[in-house]
Amino acid sequence: MASNWSSCISDELAKVEVVMDDVTAKAENPQLREMCRYVLSNHGKRIRPAMCILSYRLLGGTEPDKAVDLGAAVELIHNATLIHDDINDEGEMRRGAKALYKQYSLGKSIVAGDFMYALGFQLMGSTSKEIVGYVIEAAAAMGSGEFDQKKYEHNIDADETQYIKIISGKTAHLIEASAKCGAYLARPDDYEAIQKVGDITYNVGLAFQIIDDLLDVIGDTKNTGKKVGNDLVEGKPTIPTIYAMQDPTYGARVREIFEKENTSYDEAYEAIELIKKTDSIERCFALAKKYSDLALEELQTLEDSVYKQAMIDLIDYIVARDR
């Protein structure tokens, strides 16, 4: 998290860590506490708290500590869902470390996920109904997103429209919700501004996930902390594969590999080489750019500030990142 975009909110992001530590320290059971720490210490990009705090500032909020608790709450909820996702996807690694259920047990990890989820909502509980509403709605959308994704696993009918629907549910709505929490805190009565911040960050969320999925093809394990080709092995309908399946020359073989259950890593690597020969990578970047441009365009209608510049930098970082 050493990029420039975070410098103007670095104090608040540091406080987010403290709040998450304090909240999970409340777990009476020592192993439950240890498991929460394991997940949180394996540091993610903290995009969601950043969105909450930046959005609060974007709309002129002057007491950023107010947004810290909410940012931490959303990050706890996000991490809770990652614990369950890894079980669901049989993911072995998360950010360069063993997935929680591989390090501990499946049963305990399910409970630890539920617990962290409850902690997130508990931390949010002392705010307003609207705020809880944003996040709960996103949490419910996540379930739908996961199911839609499962429906298109190893399914060559997957297309861009379906993909956008899946990643809206899985990723973009929680990022949007986190931002709307911050926006609401700053201007509770300004429905239009809250909606605008929501639209901006929803589009950022889509761009973020597109790049994330692209990194499964063109990423470097050293940077991403996870094996390349995972999504292909799991048969996930991600956009690099979807585009490559449409290629007149290489599409047939990519479809063949994608359709097969029990894809091996060798086959996944073969598919990756084929994907790279098509225009898929280019189209993925263009799609991410389409959404980040939408975000940037709407962002321009907001008043200039160091926080607006930070949001622009964050968007640039998201589209250009290699991890």
Footprint of a copy of itself (CB under 8 A)? 26-29, 31-32, 81, 84, 87-90, 106-108, 110-115, 117-119, 121-122, 125-129, 132-133, 136-137, 139-140, 142-144, 146-148, 150-151
Identity of the residue, 168 or 278, whose beta carbon is nearer to a copy of itself in the bound complex: 168
Identity of the residue, 173 or 196, whose beta carbon is nearer to a copy of itself in the bound complex: 173
Phi-psi region of 159 (alpha: psi -120 to 50; beta: other; left: phi over 0): beta
Strand-pairing partners, residue 98, are 93
Identity of the residue, 9 or 139, whose beta carbon is nearer to a copy of itself in the bound complex: 139
Identity of the residue, 4 or 128, whose beta carbon is nearer to a copy of itself in the bound complex: 128
* Residue of 114, 115, 93, 89 lying closest to 102 (CA atoms): 93
Rounded least distance, CB 297 to a copy of itself, Å: 29
Identity of the residue, 145 or 219, whose beta carbon is nearer to a copy of itself in the bound complex: 145
Strand-pairing partners, residue 97, are 94
Q: Is 128 helix (H, G, I), strand (E, B) or coil?
A: coil
Rounded least distance, CB 33 to a copy of itself, Å: 9
Q: Is 7 helix (H, G, I), strand (E, B) or coil?
A: helix
Question: And the tokens for 200?
Answer: 């901006």
Give the helix ranges, DSSP H, for 225-305: 230-233, 239-245, 251-259, 265-277, 280-299
Quote the CA–CA distance of 107 and 112 in Å, as a whole number.
Answer: 9
Rounded least distance, CB 170 to a copy of itself, Å: 11
Identity of the residue, 6 or 24, whose beta carbon is nearer to a copy of itself in the bound complex: 24
Rounded least distance, CB 23 to a copy of itself, Å: 10
Residue 228 vs residues 3, 93, 219, 222, 235: alpha-carbon distances, Å: 24, 11, 6, 10, 13
Residue 49 vs residues 16, 36, 150, 237, 291: alpha-carbon distances, Å: 7, 18, 28, 28, 21
E-state strands within the chain: 93-94, 97-98
Question: And the tokens for 52?
Answer: 């909450």
Amino acid at 206: L
Q: What is the DSSP letter of 143?
A: H
Identity of the residue, 91 or 219, whose beta carbon is nearer to a copy of itself in the bound complex: 91
Rounded least distance, CB 257 to a copy of itself, Å: 22
Residues whose CB falls within 8 Å of the CB of residue 10, separated by 6 or more in sequence, listed in order: none
Rounded least distance, CB 87 to a copy of itself, Å: 6
* Residue of 59, 301, 290 lying closest to 194 (CA atoms): 59
Rounded least distance, CB 137 to a copy of itself, Å: 7
Rounded least distance, CB 169 to a copy of itself, Å: 9
Identity of the residue, 70 or 272, whose beta carbon is nearer to a copy of itself in the bound complex: 70
